[in-house]
């Protein structure tokens, strides 16, 4: 297995549930991210932070999953935000014109402060 395969780590920081994605998110792994976020939302998490700092890149399938999860969170009265959207990953958000479609914080610490 290549180093680019997706890994998903989850942990709490206070009331915020952090989901750290590492590697590549494409159509083969986007469903795993969706399942993870859906479970958290349906499980009653009210503040979810998706840390993209470890991502190499994400494709259109991943963007769709993040948009759907954000929508789901809003309908479930939860907040879903992104952080560490940097480098090549940030360029992809810019190319897709999707920076404004999400709540994006700079660092994980800043995001946790805002979501707490």
Partner 1 sequence: MARPPGLLYAVDETPPPVTFVIAALQQVAVMSNSLIYPVILAREAGLTTSDLLNFASVAMLALGVATILLCARSRYTGCGYLCPAGFTQIYLGPSLLALQHGGLALVFGMTISAGLLQVAIAPLLRRVRMLLPPEIAGLVIAVVGLSIAVVGVRYGLGITGAGAIRPIYLVVAGISLVTMIVLNIWTKGYTRMFCVLIGMGVGYAVSAAVGIVDLSAAVPAGGLDLVRPPHFRFIQIRFDPTELAPFIIVALAGTLHLMGNISTAQRINDDDWIRPDFRSLSGGLAGNGVAAVLCGLAGSLGINSYTSCIGVSTATGITSRSVAYAIGVVFAVLALVPSAAIVVATIPAPVIGAAMFFTAAFVFTSGLQMITARMLDSRKTIVIGLSFGAAAMADIYHGVFATAPAFLQPVLGDALVMGTSCGVLLNLVTRIGIRQLAAIRLDPGHINRDAVEEFLAEQGAHWAARRDIINRATFGVVQLLELLGEVPGGIELEARFDEFNLDLRVRYTGAPLEFPERRPSAREIMASAEGERLLAGHLLRRSADRISSRALGERTEVHPHYDH
Binding residues vs partner 1 (CB under 8 A): 1-2, 4-5, 24, 26-28, 56-57, 59-61, 63-64, 67-68, 71, 88, 91-92, 95-98, 101
Minimum distance from residue 57 beta carbon to partner 1 (Å): 5
Q: Which is nearer to partner 1, 66 or 111 (CB)?
A: 66
Q: How many helices (H) and strands (E) does the chain have?
A: 4, 5
Kindly give the pairing relationship between strand 7-13 and strand 16-25: antiparallel
**In this structure, what are the phi and psi dihedrals at residue 107, rounded to the nearest 5 degrees?**
-100, 170
Could you tell me the smallest distance in angstroms from the CB atom of residue 11 to partner 1? 27
Q: Which is nearer to partner 1, 18 or 66 (CB)?
A: 66
**Half-sphere exposure at residue 1, Cβ-oriented, CA atoms within 13 angstroms:** 7
């Amino acid at each position: 297995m290549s180093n680019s395969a997706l890994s998903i780590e989850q942990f709490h920081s206070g009331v915020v549930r952090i989901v750290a994605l590492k590697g590549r998110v494409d159509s083969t792994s986007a469903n795993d991210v969706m399942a993870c976020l859906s479970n958290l939302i349906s499980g009653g998490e009210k503040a979810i932070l998706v840390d993209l700092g470890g991502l190499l890149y994400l494709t259109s399938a991943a963007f769709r999953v993040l948009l759907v999860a954000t929508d789901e969170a809003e309908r479930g009265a939860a907040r879903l935000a992104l952080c560490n959207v940097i480098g090549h990953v940030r360029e992809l958000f810019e190319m897709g014109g999707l920076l404004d479609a999400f709540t994006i914080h700079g660092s994980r610490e800043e995001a946790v402060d805002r979501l707490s």
